[in-house]
Chain A
Amino acid sequence: MNGKRGHSDTLTLSAGRDFSRRRFFGVLTRAAAVWGLLLNPLKAFAIRLHESPPWRKKKPYWGFAVDIDKCIGCGRCAEACKVENDVPREPFWFRTWVERYVIRKDGEVEVDSPNAGIDGFPPTQSPETVARTFFVPKLCNLCEKSPCVQVCPVGATFKTEDGVVLIDRDYCIGCRYCIQACPYGTRYFHPTLHVADKCNMCYHRITKGLKPACVEVCPTGARIFGDLSDPNSEVSKFSSENRVNVLKPHLGTQPKLVYKGMDKEVR
């Protein structure tokens, strides 16, 4: 485009007599401008549609997987998270929790997560009527298109280059819009800092080559964390070799937290 414009400029200087030629190049310049203004963004948009996911390029790019069949509901993950991240101890604020699903033979569904499962679960009533039961750990879904980031009025919550959603505590104004926008209920309002708070994948640990606390303590390996940009990482292999699903896929948030063996009743 620049080349064309330069060309036409020189012509304009020298070609006072050659009017039709000058006009021709004038038209060309304008066409180039239209091309630049209108078509280039369209092209860029078209390219973006076919763009490969960021974890093909960025290194590392963090992902998380949960093997529901391996979770025994011990709640050690939720406990470790509270300790590691100084989350208020009262049972109203959690960065991660474990849900227990009990599906009865008549189709009735019971879900509970007393104190996130940290103190264990009460015994299931009338076990003879239970059709199936399982535990589902919940945490930040690592949305590629995070609604929480989208709505933050000041940009205090943001996605890092390596794909983790963080909150700047010194910047958050505490409007709680992000808590409303998170479809997975993983955010809470910190009762003493008066800012939004959430799972940060133990960012202080993962950037030093360690695993998040919840992954570290899980006794069965139900929680898998790693680099999606590395095809040989545990999380990449797990996600590609198993039939996995995400929570609320219809919302288009594109979580990088995937579940293997997720029942239809899990929300």
Chain B
Amino acid sequence: MIDSHLINEFYEALERVSGYIYPNEIELQWSVLIVLYPYITGLVAGAFILASLVRVFKVDEMAPAYRLALLTSLAFLLVAPMPLNAHLGHPERAYEILVTPNTNSAMAMFGFVYLWYLTIVLLLEVWFDYRKDIVILSKTKPAPLRWFYKILTLGVDDISPRALALDDKIGRAITVIGVPSAVLLHGYVGFIFGSIKAIPWWSTALMPIIFLFSAMVSGIAAVMVIYMFSCWLRGEQIVGARMKCVDTIARYLLVSLIVSFSLEALEMIQKAYEAEEHYDITVVMLEGMLYLSMLVVQVFLGSIVPMIFLGFVRIANVHERVRKAVYAVSSLLILLGVLAMRWNVVIGGQFVSKSFRGITTYKLGIAGREGLLSAAIILILPVLILAVLVKLFPPWESADKPTEATAGDPIS
């Protein structure tokens, strides 16, 4: 039996179609869950690249946020496959991607890229970074927790300076591998869309690069928000080293935002200038269903306004309190803007019929497997995971004692 709810939904959708679409195009294939997937992996890659700036590129001003950025990356990565799995028609067959991948398929790479990134890059890096803390915690914490940390030490409790120096060396080596891996992870997500020639809205060689830079933008903004929020939660004033930290994050945020925005603008200008056969219908979409989410939210609120804000505080000599407010507001706007960008790519690409003669619509339901509620849960989940991770592996000590366990510390 076909779900009667689905049938009703499609009959309603039929009313909202404008122009001619192929008969099978009433159903929008990739829903809000697939919007979240590139958004979440983007946050993973972006937060990791920020962390690597500290570790590999020795941007020591951001050291206070280094470990938090790593944990943020890990928390989001753990959630990344969830929207994909929830969207599958047969989630119980998902393992086939790993067992019998089609090597010609970009999507088949997902399992491998994901596992590589999770195990080789993030888990290893976090472990080497926290090894000393884990060993100390396994000796100081009360009973049940102690066992947990004891297991995590993997039987190694050598925290002599020599061992720690080695940890640091290995950690740095992993980050060096991690940067191209982060680029691969998100560039690959861009390729998933960019390589679909059937959908001109997606099909551009710029897509992986656009995704990569917007990932950096969103990841950096996320770390900014989470760092500022956690300082506030812990009752710590953002002054001195911490202020320097957020100032530096803001600097990188502005640079990557400018690059990201330029790339997106370049792509749109190219599309408008070439004006191929699908262009007319694309304009109809931009003036209609994407007007709010693309022109208002993504371009204006999510890019231009933060760019002006962040640019202004860099040029003008404004008070720390104003700067902090600007950073918080800009970062939140950017996070919203990048989410809108993912929406505009994923959903927008499916609005235009492949006949280029009509436009279909998408109504986001509240309940159901692919509704707003599931989406909200998937977005909140990484934040909860991060809260647990932060409790288990406090990332703070680097801020208090900058000589320990951070990049560029004297041990190395």
Could you tell me which A residues sit within 8 Å of B by CB distance?
88, 90-94, 97, 99, 109-113, 115-116, 138, 147, 149-156, 171-177, 179-189, 191-195, 251, 267
Contact = CB atoms under 8 A, between A and B. Distances in A.
B348 to A, nearest CB: 13
A111 B3 contact: no
Contacts of A115: 23
Contacts of A182: 198
Interface in B360-411: none
20 contacts: A90-B2, A91-B23, A92-B10, A97-B22, A153-B97, A154-B100, A173-B96, A174-B89, A175-B88, A175-B89, A175-B107, A176-B89, A185-B24, A189-B29, A189-B89, A192-B1, A192-B2, A194-B89, A195-B89, A195-B90
B237 interface: no
A193 B355 CA distance: 27
B105 A177 contact: yes
Contacts of A185: 21-25, 353-355
Given A153-B97, A175-B88, A181 B196 contact: yes
A129 B79 CA distance: 58
4 smallest beta-carbon distances between A and B, as pairs: A174-B89, A185-B22, A194-B89, A183-B198
Given A154-B97, A194-B90, A183 B23 contact: no
A19 to B, nearest CB: 44
Contacts of A111: 20, 355, 357
Contact of B29 (A138, A176, A193, A267): A176
A155 B101 CA distance: 7
Given A171-B93, A173-B88, A180-B199, A151 B24 contact: no
B105 A153 contact: yes
Contact of A187 (B10, B24, B106, B108): B24
Interface string B92-117: 01101100111011111010000000
Nearest to B87: A175
A99 B25 CA distance: 14
Given A116-B23, A179-B24, 6 more contacts: A90-B7, A94-B23, A155-B100, A172-B90, A177-B192, A180-B350
Chain B, interface size category, equals 35 or more
B92 to A, nearest CB: 9
A112 B23 contact: no
B188 to A, nearest CB: 13
A153 B89 contact: no
Contact of B23 (A113, A149, A171, A191): A113
A94 B24 contact: yes
A90 B1 CA distance: 12
Contacts of B2: 88, 90, 191-192
Interface in B55-90: 84, 87-90
B158 to A, nearest CB: 43
B291 interface: no
Given A94-B24, A181-B198, A174 B90 contact: yes
Contacts of B279: none
A189 B30 CA distance: 11
A251 B197 contact: yes
Contacts of B353: 185
A171 B356 CA distance: 32
Contact of A180 (B1, B29, B90): B29
Nearest to B103: A155
A154 to B, nearest CB: 4
Contacts of A181: 196, 198
B97 A267 contact: no
B221 interface: no
B26 interface: yes
A98 to B, nearest CB: 10
Nearest to B193: A180
B6 interface: yes
Nearest to A186: B24
Nearest to B25: A185
Contacts of B1: 192
Contacts of B195: 151
A180 B24 contact: no
B71 to A, nearest CB: 30
A252 B355 CA distance: 17
A267 B354 CA distance: 8
A151 B27 contact: no
A152 B219 CA distance: 30
Contacts of A183: 197-198, 354
Of A111, A149, A150, chain B has the most CB atoms within 10 Å of the CB of A111
A150 B107 CA distance: 10
Contacts of A187: 24
A13 to B, nearest CB: 42
A176 B30 contact: yes
A109 B22 CA distance: 15
A5 to B, nearest CB: 31
A111 B358 CA distance: 10
A154 B96 contact: yes
Contact of B106 (A151, A174, A251): A151
Given A111-B357, A180-B30, A147 B198 contact: yes
A167 B22 CA distance: 21
A151 B203 CA distance: 14
Of B10, B29, B94, B110, chain A has the most CB atoms within 10 Å of the CB of B29
A91 B97 CA distance: 32
Contacts of B354: 183-185, 267
